[in-house]
């Protein structure tokens, strides 16, 4: 597995693993916790060293799962988690990035993960009620205390990133980014490059759509987040199929899978980009790792860019509520 550097010195595998789906969002959760632990440990055996979780996933249980799975491998891995939501009655109930809340979440996450230091501590969503300077300052204090190693932001605007970075160095920005979600390109990615900040795309496979395993006829189970996303209506899936078909054609020509092409495209955008596709299956993790060895020529990259721009994408990437939480 190739490695990449986020920020100044956070060295991680070129492909990470997002653990959220092991505890929520994609229909019924796996019945056997041991199976998920085996996937996480098996991913390390195959070269993945970067794992993403959050207190709100579950809530809480995903951090516990990741902590238990990676405890024997702690010196081999980088674990990222997040703060920023107010959790009430077992569910997120608004944003909360007050300094005292950040500190409380850090202490609780340390216990659940079973670690002495959180490697990368993201603000999960920008809280409009709390100056980002106060957030960055609080995380900076946690860094000096040894509870946190690096500071990150998620779904933050370029302006917010610059303001935070001026107070305490931002190591990584995490946002949705893929062939069919290009929102970070005009402002956020150039800002990260200019400031030496790593970029971590979540949903780099379009929540499964770019793998070619989802089409207009796919039925989602109860509890699957895609049932609430406009982009995943049957009509929009049919309209967006042309992009996946072209990716699949290129993949076939290269002896790869559509998902590998989609990840290879991301890796080629900038050497500080580290996608974190989620999975519940070790075979998918192995497939994702294969993207690091899939070269795309300049012409192939240009063709994919031109195709995505020409075809476009139908439907918003979030529902109205979740779009309201994205920093503008």
> CA-to-CA distance for 244 and 40, rounded, in angstroms?
28
Is 60 known to be catalytic?
A: no
Name the pLDDT band for 27 (thresholds 50, 70, 90).
low
Identify the CA nearest to 105 among candidates 124, 88, 125, 82.
82
Tokens 């216990």 correspond to 111
> CA-to-CA distance for 253 and 121, rounded, in angstroms?
40
Looking at residue 268, its pLDDT comes to 97
Domain 3-206+269-293 -> CATH class: alpha beta
Structure tokens at 32: 């056997």
pLDDT tens sequence across 160-182: 999 999 999 999 999 999 999 99
* Active-site residue identified among 57, 122, 177, 318: 57
Side-chain half-sphere CA neighbours of 181 within 13 A: 21
pLDDT tens sequence across 60-78: 999 999 999 999 999 999 9
pLDDT tens sequence across 183-230: 999 999 999 999 999 999 999 999 999 999 999 899 998 888 999 999
Q: Are residues 306 and 66 in contact, defined by beta-carbon separation less than 8 angstroms?
A: no
> CA-to-CA distance for 90 and 73, rounded, in angstroms?
30
Domain definitions of the chain by residue range: 3-206+269-293
The predicted model scores a pTM of 0.96
Looking at residue 31, its pLDDT comes to 60
Structure tokens at 96: 């909360």
- Please state at what angle helix 158-167 crosses helix 132-144, rounded to 10 degrees: 40
Diameter over CA atoms, the chain: 54
Q: Are residues 289 and 46 in contact, defined by beta-carbon separation less than 8 angstroms?
A: yes
Name the pLDDT band for 312 (thresholds 50, 70, 90).
confident
Identify the CA nearest to 118 among candidates 154, 137, 142, 100.
142
Q: Are residues 210 and 189 in contact, defined by beta-carbon separation less than 8 angstroms?
A: no
DSSP class per residue in 219-287 = -PPTTBGGGG-GGGSHHHHHHHHHHHHHHHHHHHHTT--HHHHHHHHHHHH-TTB----B-S-HHHHHH
Mean pLDDT over each residue of the chain, to the nearest integer: 95
Q: Distance from first CA to last CA of the chain, Å, rounded?
A: 35
pLDDT tens sequence across 126-170: 999 999 999 999 999 999 999 999 999 999 999 999 999 999 999
Residue 93: partners with Cβ closer than 8 Å, 6 or more residues away: 85, 86, 87
CA 304 centroid distance within chain: 22
Looking at residue 240, its pLDDT comes to 93
Looking at residue 311, its pLDDT comes to 85
């Amino acid at each position: 597995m190739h490695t990449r550097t986020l920020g100044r010195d956070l060295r991680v595998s070129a492909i990470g693993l997002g653990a959220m789906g092991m505890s929520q969002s994609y229909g019924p959760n796996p019945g056997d916790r041991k199976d998920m632990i085996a996937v996480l440990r098996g991913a390390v055996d195959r070269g993945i060293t970067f794992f993403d979780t959050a207190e709100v996933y579950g809530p809480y249980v995903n951090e516990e799962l990741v902590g238990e799975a990676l405890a024997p491998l702690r010196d081999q891995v980088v674990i990222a988690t997040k703060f920023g939501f107010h959790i009430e009655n077992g569910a997120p109930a608004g944003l909360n990035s007050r300094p005292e809340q950040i500190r409380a979440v850090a202490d609780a996450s340390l216990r659940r993960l079973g670690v002495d230091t959180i490697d990368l501590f993201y603000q999960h969503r920008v809280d409009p009620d709390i100056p980002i300077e106060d957030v960055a300052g609080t995380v900076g204090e946690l860094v000096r205390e040894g509870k946190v190693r690096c500071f990150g932001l998620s779904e933050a605007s370029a302006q917010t990133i610059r303001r935070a970075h001026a107070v305490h160095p931002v190591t990584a920005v995490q946002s949705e980014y893929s062939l069919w979600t290009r929102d970070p390109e005009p402002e956020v990615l150039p800002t990260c490059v200019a400031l030496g900040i790593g970029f971590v795309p979540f949903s780099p496979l379009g929540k499964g759509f770019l793998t070619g395993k989802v089409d207009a006829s796919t039925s989602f189970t109860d509890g699957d987040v895609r049932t609430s996303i406009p982009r995943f209506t049957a009509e929009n899936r049919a309209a967006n199929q042309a992009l996946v078909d072209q990716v699949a054609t290129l993949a076939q020509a290269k002896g790869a899978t559509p998902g590998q092409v989609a990840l290879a495209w991301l890796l080629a955008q900038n050497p500080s980009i580290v996608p974190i596709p989620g999975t519940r299956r070790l075979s998918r993790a192995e497939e994702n790792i294969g993207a690091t060895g899939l070269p795309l020529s300049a012409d192939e990259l240009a063709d994919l860019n031109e195709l995505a721009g020409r075809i476009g994408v139908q439907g918003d990437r979030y529902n109205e509520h979740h779009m309201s939480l994205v920093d503008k």
